[in-house]
Structure 1
Amino acid sequence: MFNGLADWWDGVELWLAQAWFPVQFVLVMVVVVPLCLLFAWVIDKLVGRFARWFGPARDDDNPPS
């Protein structure tokens, strides 16, 4: 199974490396950028959750008047 997956990925990688630059650019903008944004959002939510778990925020010590 892994050999088949590796062969498929090698084919995709070869196709992408040989593709015309505008095609590569469009694929990056359509696939990679949304994945990076999603990953950044997940990291932000996890850090916020851990921050709330480990201690109060600075604003909780001195509430606004």
Structure 2
Amino acid sequence: MLLDLAIPRMSGEQVIENLSELAPHLRILLFTGYGEAWEGSPQVVEVLHKPLQFADILQAVRRALDQAPS
């Protein structure tokens, strides 16, 4: 799943928490425009910092798909 930390009406952290309960094996690529580090859910397999290029997203998706499920 591709997820931005800054979304309306619910924080990215809340979305991740809800997703962990609904789909514990889901892998998440997290987007952020801020410089914060992410030390949350193990479901977050990579944090991408905006702005980024489409090729960066494709490479991150490929890395996530290539990882063995946990």
- Per the normalisation by structure 2, the TM-score is 0.29
- Which structure exhibits the higher relative contact order, with contacts defined as CA atoms closer than 8 Å and separated by 6 or more residues? 2
Which structure has the bigger radius of gyration? 1
Higher strand share: 2
- Per the normalisation by structure 1, the TM-score is 0.31
Higher helix share: 1
